[in-house]
Structure 1
């Protein structure tokens, strides 16, 4: 099995980089997994959800390999049938992808053929069940040598395929050489008053490497920008296709925007802020000329992932909905959507933040559903107001006396006007609010606490710019975002 997977990986590196057998099968598993189960995995493993899936796949493959070996010894061809059946599933998974190419099925097919051949080859070299003593040592030694050699060759081929894929990536070279165009409208600088001097508080701007990531991709896609284009069509008068060169000639805008994942639990980490550079989506839609009773923009990633965004959020001149190409002063990282992605403030990412976007279709909610909506999530998903305690960390022991209780609060495209803190079941105290970068970003807060010895429970709640207080009602992330007051425990010594 290792030899088969190694051969398939090498073929993928040479002829079909996006269709490594493990990747296409893993992606199919993700697509077929119910939404509630996906959410459970994300909740338990967080950013390690992809690694968890690879571990599960490795265990399943190991079990099938053992079963195939045992059956092949007892009934020739039965074990090879299992290997070839697994390869057939890989071929079907590859061909079912939206980005399938004529060579998409080749890596999985090679995996099956090489794996089946290696299985038959090794079984023929197994020593007899009860050999004579004189025959045992050389026969067994030969079989083990062939087996170890096949496994080693498979591992080398697997690693070689991965290295070849990275080294041969035209996308990586293109991104390294790309320089962001100068913005026609620059974002105002982040005011000094936006950051509070509290060790451990979440920074106002999230470094690219630490920006949260949730998507259905097992391996981060690397698209060559020269091959990228964006199709704008559907209920429009003038459909068109935008090339990478044409996009970079358009007047770009910079905006600081906080993005949040609907899977973020109360107090969770799946939220980040960056400075985005891009072209307003509303201007693309104006160029196309929206017609009829359209109420939604159906965006699609290069691999068929889809999201459904309310049309009014995309066309609102007061909302910075962008086709983004830059993040914090550099080209989008591959993991964040290079060469282009959508950024729409005030909506959870699953309905607005399509990465590696290649298609915008103007349509209606009555006619189309995005990927996660088919998995049980809500059709429309405005970000809910929330707040989080960053300092002190939960479960930490701190010293008595003056201590900061601090964190961040948000409701993108609405803004936060007040944050309050409660210790145990005492009165609510209004915290000091930092200056917000804008209404589309989170805001820092802090409150000075005279901590007394003992175990304490800390709570936080926010009030938005419209005067609406954050609800205390607890709800799960399904179907449209978690609610409740973030509560944490701390010991004062």
Structure 2
């Protein structure tokens, strides 16, 4: 008896999972037809990104790096699976509670979709269609499963001499009930996989944005970045001077990459300005493009971490655009907004300073911006962490004040203003990778944006500081490479690095966490010599 009950409970769990799959498949199909950005799973994932406390965000970034969004989707999928199992079991033992849970899921996913930036009336249709499909299927499967159960009990009573006289003329037949349940389950499961996965794949592959990007022909730049002789060292294991686009770190709040047609993109400058400005993509690029060598750093970068990259950007100076609008007296902040609703707070003086190359970038390392790095236009501001300056898919600048407005990360425990800290990093040798005794190159990167690096020093086993050789800097806004030749002896050794900027400021030894305004401290690496 107990075994039979467990069997039906297991089938109830399967019914819940299949009903949830039908929910998602129907929603994805309708989203494909009327509202591509209204996928319930993706909308809920984006909502989770927004509400997760700061320590969990940092844990995800430090643990999964650029795969943090994949990890989130996997975790969200597991949560949906567990919830679906619960709904299926409840619909079997206490109908219609399971169906009510699916209705709640539909309402929550609808709310997540409708509160996203750019949502419209049609965005409500995918979660509505999904809810109807999921609830209807769960109701039918629950009823057929109970009929299968009741038919099995009746069949058992017919074989029981004690209950053989029971009137069972109208009882459900176990065979037909079982076939009805299993058939509906299998057919729906297969259809859900085909429709759901197919809709998501079609949505991803039929986008014309990649083609629009490939078709862009940017005008020739007015000025280029001069890369001096000696700017890049030939040391095995050392990070390249320029980070390839495919390897450039990506940290943002967009669960899916926004797809923006450059022909319809608009940049609006408003707020505390004398004149509201609205520019098209052609308006922007026809103002004249220049090249800029700029290193970007994420505030989530740990000491010695890899969330930093260097590129040649093509773009237009933000100060020129702001000058057209005329910021008013009293303004001290610019709130930039992405197409997906993300905001960043940048000090106004950082964007209007003639000596700082804050730009609207349209190209990266010689090609239009990759979709995941902000196509068609993003902000790049030297000397400020990305979360307060490097808005991707930017569509609006609001000239305002720090008192009147706050950006996405400020209420989540981060500083409203965040200059990049003087930093250095050891690239080679790496901890956990033994090296042979003899001459070993210790090498890495250092950066002090808007100021520049004066020197880098290395200490072995807490001994005297040795000066490192520096590559020739491109400018004060890019990192430099450094290296030291070390006569390594067998054993384990600690290698420590620190940098001094061109103003004479030494990199602080004091360790600081990522929040509220970036990590700090000297990197100290354990090296094994064999």
Match of residue 299 from structure 1: 336
* 1:128-150 per-position Cα deviation (integer Å, ceiling 9, x unaligned): 25353795455434422321221
Q: Secondary structure at the match of 1:323?
A: strand
Residue 400, structure 1, aligned to residue 437, structure 2: yes
Q: How many angstroms does 1:248 deviate by?
A: 2.4
* 1:196-221 per-position Cα deviation (integer Å, ceiling 9, x unaligned): 11111000000001100001111111
Residue 161, structure 1, aligned to residue 204, structure 2: no
2:422 to 377, 385, 389: 385
Q: How many angstroms does 1:68 deviate by?
A: 1.0
Q: Return the alpha-carbon distance in structure 2 between the equivalents of residues 339 and 102 of structure 1.
A: 26
* 1:262-291 per-position Cα deviation (integer Å, ceiling 9, x unaligned): 010000010001111111100001111111
1:445 to 482, 489, 492: 482
1:482 to 514, 519, 523: 519
Q: How many angstroms does 1:366 deviate by?
A: 1.0
2:68 to 49, 70, 74: 49
Spell out the pairing of 1:1-400 with structure 2 (5 A cutoff). Answer: 1-126=20-145, 127-129=148-150, 130-131=152-153, 132=155, 136=174, 139-188=177-226, 190-400=227-437
Q: Return the alpha-carbon distance in structure 2 between the equivalents of residues 102 and 176 of structure 1.
A: 32
Q: How many angstroms does 1:173 deviate by?
A: 2.1
* 1:91-120 per-position Cα deviation (integer Å, ceiling 9, x unaligned): 111111122122122212211111111111
Match of residue 507 from structure 2: 470
Q: Return the alpha-carbon distance in structure 1 between the equivalents of residues 223 and 233 of structure 2.
A: 28
Q: Return the alpha-carbon distance in structure 2 between the equivalents of residues 163 and 310 of structure 1.
A: 41
Match of residue 436 from structure 1: 473
Range moving further from structure 2, 29-38 or 270-279: 29-38
Range moving further from structure 2, 106-115 or 19-28: 106-115
Extract structure 1 runs of 4+ deviating beyond 6 A. Answer: none
Q: Return the alpha-carbon distance in structure 2 between the equivalents of residues 211 and 148 of structure 1.
A: 44
Structure whose CA Rg is larger: 2
Range moving further from structure 2, 49-58 or 208-217: 49-58
Over the aligned positions, Cα root-mean-square deviation in angstroms equals 1.4
Q: Return the alpha-carbon distance in structure 1 between the equivalents of residues 232 and 529 of structure 2.
A: 26
Say if 1:322 and 1:344, in contact at 8 Å, map to a contact too.
Answer: yes
Match of residue 3 from structure 2: none
TM-score (norm: length of structure 1): 0.97
Say if 1:299 and 1:360, in contact at 8 Å, map to a contact too.
Answer: yes
Q: Return the alpha-carbon distance in structure 1 between the equivalents of residues 306 and 124 of structure 2.
A: 38
Range moving further from structure 2, 126-135 or 43-52: 126-135
Say if 1:14 and 1:165, in contact at 8 Å, map to a contact too.
Answer: no
TM-score (norm: length of structure 2): 0.91
User: What are structure 2's unaligned runs of at least 5 residues?
Assistant: 1-19, 159-172
Range moving further from structure 2, 147-156 or 473-482: 147-156
Q: How many angstroms does 1:222 deviate by?
A: 1.1
* 1:308-332 per-position Cα deviation (integer Å, ceiling 9, x unaligned): 1011110111111111111111111
Q: Secondary structure at the match of 1:128?
A: helix
Q: How many angstroms does 1:12 deviate by?
A: 1.3
Q: Return the alpha-carbon distance in structure 2 between the equivalents of residues 66 and 268 of structure 1.
A: 40
Q: Secondary structure at the match of 1:414?
A: coil
Q: Secondary structure at the match of 1:148?
A: helix
Q: Return the alpha-carbon distance in structure 2 between the equivalents of residues 221 and 9 of structure 1.
A: 17
Q: How many angstroms does 1:483 deviate by?
A: 0.6
Residue 413, structure 1, aligned to residue 450, structure 2: yes
Q: Secondary structure at the match of 2:123?
A: coil
Q: Return the alpha-carbon distance in structure 1 between the equivalents of residues 205 and 252 of structure 2.
A: 24
Range moving further from structure 2, 52-61 or 200-209: 52-61
